[in-house]
Amino acid sequence: MKPCYLLFLCSLVLSCAQAQKPNNIATQWQLPDQEWKMRLSPEEYAVLRKKGTERAFTGQYWNKKDPGLYRCRACNTPLFSSETKYESGSGWPSFWQPLHDSTISISQDLSLGMLRDEVLCAQCGGHLGHVFPDGPRPTGLRYCLNSVSLSFEPKREN
């Protein structure tokens, strides 16, 4: 096989691999599926890696009002603050803004026969939930997340 043909093949494989990923996942979090299965509980794996959804009003955080930080349960990146959490009535933890735009990534989700914007952890690519345009001011957005994708860190008293 000629070297240039090989190069072409490699770049083709690389671009296909990239197309399947939501965006630039940090290299240390590009783990094989088996590794995720070992690191996460069955519930966490089903939601974070297989894009499942926990049942409404059953999660750990939908009703939580304590001040603190919500991190990605898979990679521990800080994602949302309790300061932007609000009671949406949906039964899932809801926020009107992420901590930083760069900590999450948005991907189009065509499952269940509808177009939705999927919210992923930008660091590890873990599925967090969806974002809808029916949130409160000032953003008008509702980041509707699964409790099982998050871990809560209470704000320390000074």
Of the residues 72, 75, 121, 144, only one is catalytic, namely: 144
Residues 68-127 that bind Zn ion (CB under 5 A): 72, 74-75, 121, 123-124, 126
Site string for Zn ion, 35-74 (x = CB under 5 A): -------------------------------------x-x
Task: State in Å, rounded, how far the first CA of the chain is from the last one.
Answer: 66
DSSP H or E segment with residue 18: helix 3-20
Instruction: Report, in Å, the least distance between residue 123 CB and Zn ion.
Output: 5
For residue 133, cis peptide bond before it (omega within 30 degrees of 0): no
Residue type (1 letter), 114: M
Q: Please state the closest distance from residue 115 (CB atom) to Zn ion, in A.
A: 24
Q: Minimum distance from CB of 10 to Zn ion (Å)?
A: 28
The CA-based dihedral angle spanning residues 115, 33, 36, 113, taken in that order and rounded to the nearest 10 degrees: 10
